[in-house]
Structure 1
Amino acid sequence: MKKGTYTKLILILGALTALGPFSIDMYLPGFAGIAIDLKTTVAKVAMTLSSYFIGISAGQLLYGPLLDRFGRKKPLFIGLLVYILASLGCVFVQDIDTFIGLRFIQAIGSCAATVASVSMVRDLFPVKDIPKVFSMLMLVVGLSPMLAPTVGGYITADYGWHTVFLILMVIGIFILLAAQFGLPNSYQPDPTISLKPKPILTNFWVILQEPQFYTYAFAGSIAFSGLFTYVAVSPILFMEIYTVDAKMYGWIFAFMSLSFIGASQLNSVLLKRFTSEQMILGALLVQTGISVLFIILAINHLLNLYSTIALLFLFLACLGISNPNTAGLTLAPFTRNAGSASALMGAIQLGLGALASFAVGVFVTNSIVPMVWLITGTTVLALIVLLIGKRKIKNTITTSTDNEVVMVH
C-alpha cells in the first residue's frame, strides 16, 4: 500500500471514529446553559449523554450484520444521513425529553461511522498491524477531545449551545462526502449473511464464545468505562465542584486529552519491545494503583483542582495504552464476520459506558468521591476479568495466514 493511500485511509477512518467523540465532547461546556434554557437540572442534561451511549450501543448491533450483508459504504451513508438530520433537530429542540430522544437518534446514526471504521481497519490492514493502526487512529481521534470542548466552550459562550449542533451537522456532511469519495469498497457484500433475528443472535453468540474475544472485549470495556465516567462527570466536577467557567473547562478537558493521545502513541513505540498482552496487563496494574491512591486521597479530602487533574491525567494515560491493544486482540480471531465482531465489541464497550454515565447522573452531586469509587471499582473488576479470562485462552491469535486483505476498488 502506498504511503499516500495509507495516510488518506488513516485520516478518513480517524474522522469516522472521531465523529462520536466529537458529538459527545463539543456540547459538554453548554450543560449549564442547556439546563437553564430547557428549565431542568445539569444532572438531567447529563442523561442526554446516557441516551447517546445507549443509542451507540444498540446501533452497534444493528450495523454489524448490515455492514457484513451489504458492504461497508451503503449502511455508512444511511447512518451518516440519520446523524445529520438528528443534529439539525437538536438545533431547534425546546424541551429536555425531546433532546434526550434526539440524542439517541443522533447516536444511532453516528455509530454507523464507528462500526464501519473499525470493520474497515480489519478489512484493509494485516492483523499484526491492527494495534498500530488503532494507535494512529487514536492520534486523529484524540484531536476531538482536544478541540471539541475548547471550541464548544467558546461557541457556547459567544453564540449559544444550539450553534454547537449546527456545526456538528456540517461536520457530518463533510465526513459523509469524504467517506463516499475517499474510501475503497473494502468488503464485498455477503448475501449469505442473514438479517433475521435468530441467525444474527446466533452469530453474536458464536463470536461471544471465543475466549480471546470475551476476555479482551470485557476487560477492555470495563476498564474503558472509566473514561465514560470521567466524561459524564467532568462538567459537574470542574464547573460546579471546582467552579471553573465554560471556556476554562474546555481548556482543562483539552489538556486531559493529551494524556490519552500521548499514551496511545507511546503504545506504538512500546509494541516494538513488548506484546499486546504484556501492555494490557501492565497498564491495568498501574491503573489499579493510581485508582487506589485516588480513592484514599478523595475520602480524606486531600484533593484540590490540580491534584485531581494530575491523577485523572495518569488514569487516562493507562487507558491510552490498554485500549488499542484490547481492541486489536478482541478482533484478531475474526475475518469473515469482522463487522459483527466489531459491532459486538462496540456494543459491550458503549453499553458499559452508558451504565457508567447513568451512574454519574444518579450518584454524583457535589462530591468527587462517587466518581472515584466508580473508576476504582471498574479498574479492579477489569483486572480480575483479564486474569481469569486469560486462563481460558489456549493460544492468543495476533496474526493469521489469511490476514493479508487486499483493497478492492
Structure 2
Amino acid sequence: MLCALALLSAIAPLATDMYLPGLPVMAESLGSSTVGVQLTLTTFMAGLGLGQLLVGPLSDGWGRRRLILAGTAVLAVSSAVCALAPTVGVLIAARLVQGFSGGIGIVLARAVIADRAKSTTAAKLFSIMMIIGGVAPVVAPLLGGVLLGPIGWRGIFWVLTGLSVVMAVGTFLFVPETLPPEKRHGGGLKAMSSNFGYVLRQRRFVGYAAAMALGFGAMFSYISASPFVTQNVLGLSPGQFSMVFAVNSVGLVLANTLNTRLVDRFAVRSLLTFGMTTMFVAAALLLLTMLFVGYKTFLILPLLFVTVSMVGLSLGNATALAQEQVPKAAGTGSAVIGALQFGLAAAVSPLVGLGGESTGIPMGLSIAVCTGLALVLLLTLAREPAQRGSELRPAEPEPAD
C-alpha cells in the first residue's frame, strides 16, 4: 500500500520534470511560441492545486478509495490526450485536467496515511513519502533527457500514461477504503465548508501546516534558483551542477531515512524543531557569506547541503503533526496542506530571480525568511499546551508478558 501511495505522491515531479528537456522541441512540433508551451506547466500546477482543494474535503464525505481510482483513471486518459495533442491549445487543456487528477492522488495519499497510522508510525510513513519526493525530481529530468531522443516528447507522455495505469492497478490491488462510513461527513457544500471551518479553527494545525509549507518554500527557492547560482555565479559547469544537485538530494534522502529511526527515540516535535533550527542557521550563514565574504564555493556548497538535508527532518514531521490535529477531517486537512505548499512554492519561484542571473542574494534571502518564519511558528506553538493527542511522542515500550 505504501508503494502505491508513494507513486501517487510522485506524479507531480514526474509529470513536471520529465518533459522539461523536450520543451523546445514541443514548441517547434506544435508550431507554438515558447510562452505557449510554458503555459502547459502553469496549467498543470494550477490543476494540481485545484484538485487537492476540491477533492480533499469531498473525500471526508465520500471516502478515499473510489476517488483515488477515479482520479488515476482520469490521469491516464488525460496523459494519453497530451501524447496525442494536435495543437498547443489541446495540450494546455489536457495538462490542466492532468494536474487536477494528479492532485487527487497527492491529497488522498496523505489522507490515507492519516486514517491508518497514528503517533510515530505516521511520522515514519510521511518521511518515507518525502524520500520518494526527494528522489523523483532528480530522476525525472534525467529520465526525460534519456527518453527524449528515442521516443520524443509524445513518447514521454505515453510513459506517463503507463505510470498512471500502474497507479490505478496498484490502488485497486493494495489500497483499501480507509475511512469507514460511520466516520464520514456529508458530501455537500455545507459539509465541505463546515470541514474547512473545523480545520482552520485548529490553531496548532494551521501552525504546523504553515511551517511545513514554509519549509517547502525554502526548498523550492533552492530548486528554482540553484541552476543559475551554481553555474552563472559560482562558475560550475552543467555537469558539475547536476552532481551538486544529486549530492544534495542524497543528503535529503538520508536525512529522511534517519528520521524514520529517530522518531522511535525522540518526540517528533523536537525533531522538527531541531531540523528547522538547523535549516535557519545554515540559511542565515549562507546569506551572510554571500553578503560579506563573497561567492566562495567551498563555503556556499556545504551550507546548501546542510540546508537541503535538514528538509528531511522537517517536512514529514510537520505533516504528521498537522494531520494529528484534525482527525475528524483528514482529507480537508491534507487539502489545506497541499494548497499552502504549492501556493507558496509558486510565489517564491519568481521572487528568487528578481535580482537577475548574476546574484545569489535573492535565493539566500528567500530561504532564510522562509525558515525563520517557520521557526518562529514552531517556537510559538511550543509555548501552547497540546490540544489533543501525544504531539507524536515516541511510544512507550509494552510490558513483557
TM-score, normalised with respect to structure 1: 0.83
Matched with 1:15 is 7
Deviation digits for residues 9-45 of structure 1 (CA, Å, limit 9, x no counterpart): 221221122222322332344456557764326xx86
| Aligned with 1:203 (options 191, 195, 202) | 195
- Are residue 170 (structure 1) and residue 162 (structure 2) matched? yes
- Are residue 273 (structure 1) and residue 252 (structure 2) matched? no
Q: Return 5+ residue gaps in structure 1 as ranges.
A: 1-8, 401-409
Where in structure 2 are the equivalents of 1:332-343 lying within 5 Å?
Answer: 332-343=324-335
SS in 2 for 1:108: helix
- Are residue 56 (structure 1) and residue 56 (structure 2) matched? no
**What is the distance in 2 between the residues matched to 1:134 and 1:196?**
29
CA contact (8 A) 1:26 1:149 kept: yes
**What is the distance in 1 between the residues matched to 2:88 and 2:207?**
38
SS in 2 for 1:185: coil
TM-score, normalised with respect to structure 2: 0.84
Q: Given the superposition, is the C-alpha separation of residues 336 and 191 from structure 1 closer, same or farther in structure 2, using an over 3 Å criterion?
A: closer
Q: Given the superposition, is the C-alpha separation of residues 281 and 191 from structure 1 closer, same or farther in structure 2, using an over 3 Å criterion?
A: closer
Q: Structure 2: which amino acid aligns with 1:174?
A: V
Matched with 2:128 is 136
**What is the distance in 2 between the residues matched to 1:270 and 1:311?**
23
Matched with 2:205 is 213
Q: Given the superposition, is the C-alpha separation of residues 275 and 179 from structure 1 closer, same or farther in structure 2, using an over 3 Å criterion?
A: same
The Cα shift of 1:90 comes to: 3.2
The Cα shift of 1:251 comes to: 5.3
CA contact (8 A) 1:68 1:337 kept: yes
The Cα shift of 1:329 comes to: 0.7
| Aligned with 1:374 (options 343, 348, 366) | 366
The Cα shift of 1:98 comes to: 6.0
The Cα shift of 1:196 comes to: 3.2
The Cα shift of 1:194 comes to: 3.1
Q: Return 5+ residue gaps in structure 2 as ranges.
A: 393-401
**What is the distance in 2 between the residues matched to 1:361 and 1:177?**
41
Q: Structure 2: which amino acid aligns with 1:108?
A: F
Matched with 1:406 is none
Where in structure 2 are the equivalents of 1:20-31 lying within 5 Å?
Answer: 20-30=12-22
The Cα shift of 1:188 comes to: 2.5
- Are residue 182 (structure 1) and residue 174 (structure 2) matched? yes
Q: Which fold has the larger relative contact order, with Cα–Cα distance below 8 Å and residues 6 or more apart in sequence?
A: 1
Matched with 2:34 is 40
Matched with 1:83 is 75
- Are residue 298 (structure 1) and residue 280 (structure 2) matched? no
| Aligned with 2:320 (options 328, 334, 337) | 328
CA contact (8 A) 1:29 1:249 kept: no
Q: Structure 1: which amino acid aligns with 2:64?
A: R
Matched with 2:396 is none
- Are residue 109 (structure 1) and residue 101 (structure 2) matched? yes
The Cα shift of 1:150 comes to: 1.9
Q: Structure 2: which amino acid aligns with 1:110?
A: G
Q: Structure 2: which amino acid aligns with 1:180?
A: F
Q: Given the superposition, is the C-alpha separation of residues 192 and 277 from structure 1 closer, same or farther in structure 2, using an over 3 Å criterion?
A: closer
The Cα shift of 1:263 comes to: 0.7
Q: Structure 2: which amino acid aligns with 1:24?
A: T
The Cα shift of 1:250 comes to: 5.5
Deviation digits for residues 326-381 of structure 1 (CA, Å, limit 9, x no counterpart): 11110113333212222222222222222223435766545433222222221112
Matched with 1:407 is none
The Cα shift of 1:118 comes to: 1.0
CA RMSD, Structure 1 to Structure 2 (Å): 3.2
Deviation digits for residues 280-303 of structure 1 (CA, Å, limit 9, x no counterpart): 111111111111122233346833
Deviation digits for residues 86-130 of structure 1 (CA, Å, limit 9, x no counterpart): 323333557767655543322211111111211111222233411
**What is the distance in 1 between the residues matched to 2:70 and 2:139?**
27
Moved more, 45-54 or 290-299: 45-54
**What is the distance in 2 between the residues matched to 1:292 and 1:97?**
44
The Cα shift of 1:179 comes to: 0.7
**What is the distance in 2 between the residues matched to 1:364 and 1:207?**
40
Q: Given the superposition, is the C-alpha separation of residues 249 and 100 from structure 1 closer, same or farther in structure 2, using an over 3 Å criterion?
A: farther
Aligned length: 390
CA contact (8 A) 1:364 1:370 kept: no
Identity %: 27
Moved more, 354-363 or 17-26: 354-363
The Cα shift of 1:189 comes to: 4.1
Matched with 2:395 is none
Moved more, 314-323 or 86-95: 86-95
- Are residue 317 (structure 1) and residue 309 (structure 2) matched? yes
The Cα shift of 1:306 comes to: 7.0
**What is the distance in 1 between the residues matched to 2:168 and 2:209?**
29
CA contact (8 A) 1:123 1:186 kept: yes
Matched with 1:193 is 185
